[in-house]
Amino acid sequence: MRVLATLYEKGLDFELVPVDMKAGAHKQEPLISLNPFGQIPALLDGDLTLFESRAITEYIADEYNNKGEKLLCQSCKKLKAITKVWLQVEGQQFDPIASKLAFERVFKGMLGMTTDPATVEDLEAKLVKVLDIYEARLSKSPILAGDCFTLADLHHLPIIYYLMGTDSKKLFESRPKVSEWIKKITARPSWVKVLNLQKQ
């Protein structure tokens, strides 16, 4: 979802190749040659093969900097540095907790497993501390890295999408600045296209 949103932000033409994960196609050729961990996504751009969604989005933002949204604010070193800080925050502070919470709240049910309420409670308590820092940041800036939408914002979209469909949405909605930020980033046309594509 991150990669698709980035491609749409850049207005790039691409071919999306569906992968039947239920049949285990992600663990077989040809995908296993593209991503040795047997996961999605993978990107082929000319003779370059990449995997890991965050690496792919950063490559797209750099390589196609002159198209669509900038996403990394290349022209301003300070703004680019701030973007990189919040990219790290997303990957190191937000996602490890939020992804586990989404697994408990959303994906366990899809897999026929039972949610563990104690784990949910523990993860929510941890996520609250992270979101308090986001609330403070977003009280000074409408978007994480300043005034322009960047990968730092975009990288949050998939997990926020899943958690906002659960009771954990209260953690986001109870923080006014975080709630405003979520409304802004989830309303972007690129993200709407990703969600519409998912429904097909």
The CB density around residue 21, as the number of other CB atoms within 10 Å, is 13
- Residue 185 amino acid letter: I
On whether the CB atoms of residues 149 and 87 are closer than 8 A, the answer is no
Q: What residue spans define the domains of the chain?
A: 1-64, 77-198
Collapse the DSSP code of 88 into the 3-class scheme (helix H, G, I; strand E, B; otherwise coil) and give the result: helix
Residue given tokens 């979802």 in the structure block: 1
Q: Check: pTM over 0.75? Answer yes or no.
A: yes
- What is the per-residue pLDDT across 98-149, written as a single tens digit (0 to 9) for each? 999 999 999 999 889 999 999 999 999 999 999 999 999 999 999 998 888 9
Q: What string of H, E and C letters represents the secondary structure of 54-71?
A: HHHHHHHHHHCCCCCCCE
Q: Mention every residue, 6+ apart, whose C-beta is less than 8 A from residue 178.
A: 131, 134, 135, 138, 172
Considering the domain 1-64, what is its CATH architecture? 3-Layer(aba) Sandwich (3.40)
Q: What are residue 12's phi and psi, to 5 degrees?
A: -90, 145
Q: In the chain, how long is the greatest CA-to-CA distance?
A: 48
Q: 131-139: long-range contacts at Cβ-Cβ below 8 A with a sequence spacing of 24 or more?
A: 131/171, 131/172, 131/175, 131/178, 132/175, 133/89, 133/93, 134/94, 134/175, 134/177, 134/178, 134/181, 135/175, 135/176, 135/177, 135/178, 137/86, 138/177, 138/178, 138/180, 138/181, 139/177
Q: How confident is the model at residue 198 (pLDDT cuts 50, 70, 90)?
A: confident
Between 3.20.10.10, 2.40.50.140, 1.20.1050.10, 1.10.10.10, what CATH number should domain 77-198 receive?
A: 1.20.1050.10
- What is the per-residue pLDDT across 58-82, written as a single tens digit (0 to 9) for each? 999 999 999 999 898 767 788 889 9
Between CA 190 and CA 179 the distance in angstroms is 19
Tell me which H or E stretch contains 44. Answer: strand 42-45
Higher pLDDT, 99 or 28: 99
Q: What pLDDT, on the 0 to 100 scale, is given for residue 42?
A: 94
- State mean pLDDT over 179-197: 97
Among 149, 155, 154, CA closest to 70: 149
- State mean pLDDT over 31-40: 91
